[in-house]
Structure 1
Amino acid sequence: MLDPQQCRSARLARDARFDGRFFIAVETTGIFCRPICPATLPQERHVRYFESAVAASRAGFRPCLRCRPDSAPDSPAWQGPQTTLSRAIRLIDAGALQQSNVAALCDRLGIGERYLRQLFQRRFGVSPKAYALYRQCLFAKKLLHETALPVIDVAHASGFSSLRRFNDAFKRQMALTPSDIRRQKRRNAALTVKLAYRPPYQWERLRHFYALHLIEGLEWVDERSLGRTLRQGETTGYFDAVHDPERHQFVVTLVLSELGDLSAIVRQIRRMLDLDADTAAIEVHLRRHLPELPLAEGLRLPGSWGVFEAGIRAVLGQQVSIAAANRLIQNLVDHLGETDAGGRRRFPTAGAIAASDLAFLKLPASRRETVRRLATAWDRGELGEDPRQWLSLKGIGPWTANVVAMRGNGDPDIWLDGDVGLRRALARLETPVDIATASPWRSYLTMQLWNQIL
């Protein structure tokens, strides 16, 4: 948490770089806001600062309808080394407690329920269930503001099993009713959401990376936007994300077969675009420990849609050039990917890859078997989303597992030891670089070095 003086300076300047890092509650109105709220600035003696929207809500404040805390970039709680709490937050945000219960979540984390509750109580002052419920309501509020979905569809998309339960929970958590929100918005026929980030944001380099690895039919990129087809649970569809640099956001239009997985899909898009990184803080750390390294401001981690796709792409990219890897992945998508009504292709399912002999791929037989072995294990549910568990599979080494962790999970602290491109970039530097000092941001060091050669 920033100290009160830092928070005061940031709110008085309405500095977008601090958006989502803290929230401002005003005791005279009972409302909490983002640092960039356009409302008249309250006097400091009436202000309280909170690290999260959950904590502000728990203290009895309701969200501002002008700056909309639900639209703020997520807090940087996930940043730094992997921890049990950050993994629990990621799973809950992906819907783990909507699909199951706390006991099942603890089994996935390998900890006891009491310990998990202690972690959430210390961090947020609430239980895991209360945290999950608030996140559901915050996402519902975003949909009520930004889409024309009927309220019953908003409830379903937010993970509620009934409209009555949704209305009760929403009023209890937000101190507002869904009707109160709808009276504040213009109707819009498209399913469009706005996803904010903290500047600086190096869109040109992210766009270049995606264009360099583009698979036709699966993905599309132009000067202002990128999009792709998707599959999440039982939901299929596609999205287009248009960059709006003036408002520090992406305007994302989604076309989906159903809405039950919408929250998880939005979280995936945020991860693909790396919208929750505090790049200013990351670069301060890198400059402090690696002053000899030239840095580009606002570089982000480009993500794959999920760990399975990242894994297949990484295996096909072993020991070949980017162009050669693209050709192999394109062949895989063309042969085994499903085609939607618009002629777009989806990435093949694990079952489709496992069932194919992959003879159309011009690869050594051992590499084809690695692809099939990975797909078979994933299809049978034998692999988790932690790529370090994949090392037991023949053909999956540390480099491949690390690529998957960085691009499939958004792990901020990955160093791709042995990567040819990184060796080339390091060789250009006049003085040696101590890689260890870049932790916990070695993934961003990787992107900085790749940026010099790609």
Structure 2
Amino acid sequence: MDTLTDDLCYQALKTRDARFDGRFYTAVLTTGIFCRPICPAVTPKRGNVRFYPSAETAMANGFRPCLRCRPEAAPGSPAAAGVHTTLARAVRLVEEGALDNGSVAELAERLGITDRYLRQLYKRHTGATPQQHAQARRLLRARQLIVDSNLSMTEIASIAGFGSLRRFNHSLKAAYGNAPTAFRRGIRQSSAPSMPHPFDDPFLPARDDLVLFLQARPPFDGDALLAFFRARAIPGLESVGDHYYARAVHLQGKPGLVICRPLTDKPGMQVILRGPARNAILDISARVRRLFDLDADLPGITDHLACDPLLQPVINQFPGLRVPGCWDRFEFAVRAILGQQISVAAARTLAGRLVGRYGVALPDDLIAGTGITHRFPAPEELAGQAVGQIGLTRSRADTLARVVARFAEPGFAELDGNTLLQQLAALRGVGPWTLSYMALRGLGDPDAFPATDLGILKAAARIGAPDNAKALTHHAERWRPWRAYAAQYLWATLATQSTRQETR
């Protein structure tokens, strides 16, 4: 735990400070149970607790998850973020199931390091081995799916990475002290969503839909995120209303529809999965968390940014503001190229033409009543196509073709963020604005800052900050490592945010 001392953790525990939820976990020696810092249980004595940076680490050290505060439902832990680029990627791959059917040696080879070094790196920074992390992740995700989804136990066992239902039942009972069905009887039924016929409202859960609930750290302004995505929704691919964001997806070779609805009673999202792609629930869950920036420790970020008196009034004006992410790196790279030097509305029109011409149509029974018609084309499907026919200039079409060709290369989209940006920077037509915007939304870099963006420069001038890129970049040094959030606050000050120009 690089930024939190044990004493600070105990103070946060005594006050049940929600700002620390997901940042550490408290293990109680006398009970063998670990909890979130917001747990309503009686605060244990200082000498009886140990603090861990992640739920997986606590489980690897022999502690069982609390049944009251549900550690598996806590916002994502930032324990490994920023510690080591290779480790961060390893943690992400393990959480996506790299060890469910593969070995540590295969994971290490994928990362370009030895398995011995991977184990050392993992143990040093997380306190657990990759196998321990993977096993704990299976248990945590299994209980989350039991309580927060409407999947059957057999489906959950398969999705969570257990080889059989028997192994699933045995592992859950050993870890939690109860059979899996006990959690659904005790918790799930009281929160089951209503299931209207899909044609009554296609954006509400239907009988055969999979429904998942994802929590966010408060404060969370879901309406602002919906407004942002509504202005940029690609016709045919996305649909955004007052209370939902919906889009076509294509995962594991199968089509699907994902509908995200901000929760009304607590910070977070209700996620509705429809169609064959719903079996990729873990991948979808991770993508939705990035898309809506659910794991951001916003109080900590805003406390830091508010030290600049120029930003403080803006932060107070927009509580709960997040940095919108993206669904897919390739899709966002195409969006960024299309958005160069034109308005948001114009870029949206071009993207709609591209999806309509080159996207793959979805089954009628999947998209009925939604206005969604196609999924976004894959890189290999778009490579070699005459993309200029959608209304691009020759130079812009050439740039897009070069970007598509790179993403069509095996493994390119999985490169670490810095390497991917370096590769894109070598392409003619990909300049600083595109790279910064790709880093900010496409890669989720919390410190990305497109200083040449005209909207940011205009907003900076309004609050009294420098109005030229060089001086603003120098001023923004005080906002590190959260310059992406500073950029979002600056954009929010523009009265015409939904139709503003994002350009270099």
Deviates most, 2-11 or 259-268: 2-11
Output one character per residue of 1:283-307: Cα deviation in whole Å (capped at 9) or x when no partner. Answer: 222223x332243233211011110
How far 1:37 sits from its partner (Å)?
Answer: 2.5
CA RMSD for the aligned pairs?
2.6
Aligned to 1:369: 398
Unaligned runs of 5+ in 2: 193-206, 467-471, 498-504
**Among 409, 419, 434, which residue is 1:380 paired with?**
409
Deviation at 1:200, TM superposition (A): 1.7
| Contact in 2 for aligned 1:156/1:259 (Cα 8 Å) | no
1:138 corresponding residue in structure 2: 140
C-alpha deviation, 1:152, in angstroms: 2.2
Taking the TM superposition and a 5 Å limit, the aligned residue runs for 1:330-409 are 330-340=352-362, 341=364, 342-343=367-368, 344=372, 345-381=374-410, 383-385=412-414, 386=417, 387-388=420-421, 389-409=423-443
- Residue deviations 1:86-127 (CA, integer Å, cap 9, x gap): 222223223333364333433443333222211211222221
CA–CA distance in structure 2, aligned partners of residues 79 and 55 of structure 1: 15
Q: Which amino acid aligns with 1:56?
A: A
Residues 259 and 152 (structure 1), Cα distance of their counterparts in 2 relative to 1, 3 Å cut: farther
Matched residue of 2:406: which SS?
helix
Deviation at 1:142, TM superposition (A): 0.8
Letter of the 1:273 counterpart: F
Q: How far apart in 2 are the matches of 1:24 and 1:137?
A: 18
Deviation at 1:245, TM superposition (A): 5.1
Code of the residue aligned with 1:17 in structure 2: it is R
Q: 1:440 deviation in Å?
A: 1.7
- Deviation per CA, 1:239-293: give whole Å up to 9, x if none: 22222254222222212414552211100100001011101111222223x3322
Q: Is the 8 A contact 1:80 1:412 kept in 2?
A: no
Larger displacement relative to structure 2 (303-312 or 237-246): 237-246
1:181-228 deviations in Å (ceiling 9; x for gaps): 344344556522221111122333222211221223322223333222
In the alignment, which residue of structure 1 is the partner of 2:260? 241
The aligned runs of 1:82-231 (5 Å cut-off) are 83-98=85-100, 100-167=102-169, 169-171=171-173, 174=176, 176-187=178-189, 188=192, 190-231=209-250
Distance (whole Å) between structure 1 residues aligned to residue 222 and residue 294 of structure 2: 11
Q: Note closer, same or farther for the CA distance 1:400–1:81 as it changes in structure 2 (3 Å cut).
A: farther
Could you tell me how far apart the structure 1 residues matched to 2:252 and 2:44 are?
A: 45
The answer on whether the counterparts of 2:150 and 2:211 sit within 8 Å (CA) in structure 1 is no
Alpha-carbon separation, structure 2, partners of 1:202 and 1:67: 23
Q: What's 1:416 paired with?
A: 450
Deviation per residue, 1:19-52 (Å, 9 max, x gap): 1112222333322222222344445554433221
TM-score (norm 2): 0.82
Offset of 1:167 from its aligned partner? 4.3
Structure 2 residue aligned with 1:291, among 309, 313, 321? 309
2:282 alignment counterpart:
263
Distance 1:81 1:8 in 2: 23
Which deviates more from structure 2 when the two are superposed, residues 25-34 or residues 95-104? 95-104
Query: 2:461 is matched with which residue?
Result: 427
Cα contact 2:83–2:125 (8 A) shared by 1: no
Aligned AA (1:292): L
Greater mean deviation of Cα atoms: 201-210 or 298-307: 201-210
Distance apart, 1:232 and its partner CA = 2.7
- Give the deviation of 1:355 after TM superposition: 4.4
Q: Distance in 1 between matches of 2:156 and 2:60?
A: 23
In the alignment, the residues of structure 2 paired with residue 119 and residue 78 of structure 1 have an alpha-carbon distance, to the nearest angstrom, of 11
Aligned counterparts of 2:224 and 2:279: Cα–Cα separation in 1:
33
| Aligned counterparts of 2:258 and 2:452: Cα–Cα separation in 1 | 35
Structure 2 residue matching 1:77: 3-state secondary structure: coil
1:113-153 CA-partner distances (Å, limit 9, x unpaired): 22221121122222112212221221111111223322221
Between the two proteins, the alignment pairs up a number of residues equal to: 453
Query: Is the contact between residue 350 and residue 375 of structure 1 (CA under 8 Å) also seen in structure 2?
Result: yes
Q: Distance in 1 between matches of 2:491 and 2:427?
A: 28
Q: Alignment partner for residue 305 of structure 1, among 327, 334, 340? A: 327
One-letter amino acid of the counterpart of residue 486, structure 2: L
Tell me the distance in 1 between the aligned counterparts of 2:302 and 2:42: 32
Counterparts in 2 of 1:319 and 1:258: CA distance versus 1, 3 Å? closer
Secondary structure at 2:396 match in 1: helix
Cα distance in 2, alignment partners of residues 120 and 9 from structure 1: 28
AA aligned opposite 1:331? R
Structure 1's unaligned 5+ residue stretches are none
Moved more, 316-325 or 380-389: 380-389
Judged with a 3 Å threshold, the aligned counterparts in structure 2 of structure 1 residues 256 and 130 are, in CA distance, closer, same or farther, namely farther
Partner of 2:491: 450
Q: Residue 55 of structure 2 aligns with which residue?
A: 53
* 1:326 aligned onto 2:355: no
TM-score for both structures, normalised by structure 1: 0.91
Conserved in 2, the CA contact under 8 Å of 1:71 and 1:194? Answer: no
Q: 1:382 to 1:132 in 2, by over 3 A?
A: closer
- Helix, strand or coil at the partner of 1:370: helix
1:232 and 2:251 are equivalent in the alignment? yes
Preserved contact between residue 19 and residue 198 of structure 1 (Cα < 8 Å):
yes
Q: CA deviation at 1:447?
A: 1.0
Report the AA paired with residue 428 of structure 1: R
In structure 1, what is the equivalent of residue 482 of structure 2? 441
SS in 2 for 1:268: helix
Per-residue deviation, residues 144-193 of structure 1 (Å, max 9, x unmatched): 12233222211221234444454455455555543443443445565222
TM-superposed deviation, 1:426: 2.2
- The residue type paired with residue 408 of structure 1 is G
Q: Tell me the percent identity.
A: 40
2:292 maps to 273
SS, match of residue 481 in structure 2: coil
Q: Distance in 1 between matches of 2:25 and 2:83?
A: 24
